[in-house]
Amino acid sequence: MKDSAETPPDPTELLVCTKCRRGRTEPGDDRWPGQVLFDALEALPLPEGVRLTPVECLQNCDHGCTVALRGGARWTYVFANVDEVVGAAMILDGAAQYHAQPDGLIPWRERPEHFKRNCVARIPPLEAPNV
């Protein structure tokens, strides 16, 4: 008999736009803000079940830095205006909360304030996976 309590949830993917310029015409320390954010995230311990994926342009260029969360049967979420210096830990906390929800819907009151105010879009899970 399969015990669902022992089944780990589907993995969560944290996508980070590494080309984000966030209004700059030149990078800072030779890195664009998006790369600074990605490096900051990579330097921290990732929550269990969350993996990090660099993406060259999530095309939210006017409101970067931008990240997306997806995985399994969860809604995909896109969040904008992430501070590349101080935002990494907040994003990982939010990613852990997202990962804990089978549908990716973090209860509103528990949602990070940044997630509440900077959701660019959400996309429903595929109704019929593998089709």
Exactly one of 76, 83, 96, 101 binds a second copy (CB under 8 A); that residue is: 76
Please state, in angstroms and rounded to a whole number, the distance separating the CA atoms of residues 120 and 110: 19
Comparing CB distances to a second copy, the nearer of 31 and 76 is: 76
Instruction: Check residue 120 for interaction with a second copy (CB under 8 A).
Output: yes
The answer to whether 55 and 15 are in contact (CB under 8 A) is: yes
In the region spanning residues 35 to 64, those forming contacts with a second copy, defined by CB under 8 A, are: 53, 55, 57-60
- Report the residue number, 26 or 125, with the smaller CB distance to a second copy: 125
Smallest gap from Cβ 29 to a second copy, in A, equals 27
Q: How many CB atoms lie within 10 A of CB 94?
A: 24
Cis amide linkage into residue 57, ω under 30° from 0: no
